[in-house]
Chains A and B, each alone.
Chain A
Amino acid sequence: EPEVTQTPSHQVTQMGQEVILRCVPISNHLYFYWYRQILGQKVEFLVSFYNNEISEKSEIFDDQFSVERPDGSNFTLKIRSTKLEDSAMYFCASRWDRGTGDTQYFGPGTRLTVL
């Protein structure tokens, strides 16, 4: 069964460093998402991406964040200068739309630890 994959599973970085989180969505999906979950909190929407552009972003997704689909398979989230509060689990999700009733499928997540 097709699944969303994410690498790395755990990333440790120093505050102020750039990180790139990588995702391979399900191959025939058209819509791509990043969510995050800070420890003990709810899963929060960050950004959605469709047709090679951002379709919506949350307040969390400020100028330090960017997303890219550099080829036909990868979908990346870049944090330019990490802060302590960026420590969280980051989940990539994708879906394939044919009218209403879509479902987003999530990857296993990347645990980002900012020291």
Chain B
Amino acid sequence: DQQVKQNSPSLSVQEGRISILNCDYTNSMFDYFLWYKKYPAEGPTFLISISSIKDKNEDGRFTVFLNKSAKHLSLHIVPSQPGDSAVYFCAARGNYGGATNKLIFGTGTLLAVQP
């Protein structure tokens, strides 16, 4: 089941530069997307989300862009800081109605921000 894909397993950027993490999805039923950050031995921490009715959402240093026609979203972090080093997961929620709204996760991208 590869409905949500993060094709870059790792990314290395210099402190102060922009980090761009990418995510692709295949299911047109997805209507809400989230990015989570995860440190080893901890749970995923919510970062930012975007509804499918929008194409951009910004929160401080984090911006998520959604291109519905391409079924692609990206997370921009600017400026990148060493504390941003972690695994970033893209997740999608399907609009199936009902009481579930389970999340489908990508495989994650390990971001390393070099001082």
Give A residues with C-beta under 8 Å from B.
4, 6, 31, 33, 35, 41-45, 48, 50-51, 55-56, 58, 91, 95, 97, 100-109, 111
Number of interface residues of B (CB under 8 A): 27
Please report the C-alpha to C-alpha distance between residue A45 and residue B32 in the assembled complex, in whole angstroms: 16
Cβ A105 vs Cβ B46 within 8 A: yes
Contacts of B105 in A (CB 8 A): 42-44
Cβ B103 vs Cβ A45 within 8 A: yes
Cβ A111 vs Cβ B43 within 8 A: no
Give B residues with C-beta under 8 Å from A.
31-32, 34, 36, 41-46, 49, 51, 89, 91, 93, 95, 98-108
CB < 8 Å: which of A43, A50, A106 contacts B99?
A50
Indicate whether A56 sits within 8 Å of B43 (C-beta atoms), given known contacts A42-B108, A101-B49, A103-B49: no
Contacts of B95 in A (CB 8 A): 100
Cβ B106 vs Cβ A42 within 8 A: yes
Cβ A108 vs Cβ B98 within 8 A: no
Q: With A6-B43, A42-B107, A104-B103 given, can you name 10 additional A-B contacts, CB distance below 8 Å?
A: A43-B89, A50-B99, A51-B99, A91-B44, A97-B101, A102-B93, A104-B46, A106-B46, A109-B42, A111-B41
Contacts of A56 in B (CB 8 A): 98-100, 102
Closest to A46 in B: B102
CB < 8 Å: which of B42, B99, B108 contacts A48?
B99
Please report the C-alpha to C-alpha distance between residue A97 and residue B45 in the assembled complex, in whole angstroms: 18
Cβ A48 vs Cβ B100 within 8 A: yes
Indicate whether A91 sits within 8 Å of B41 (C-beta atoms), given known contacts A31-B101, A45-B104, A55-B100: no
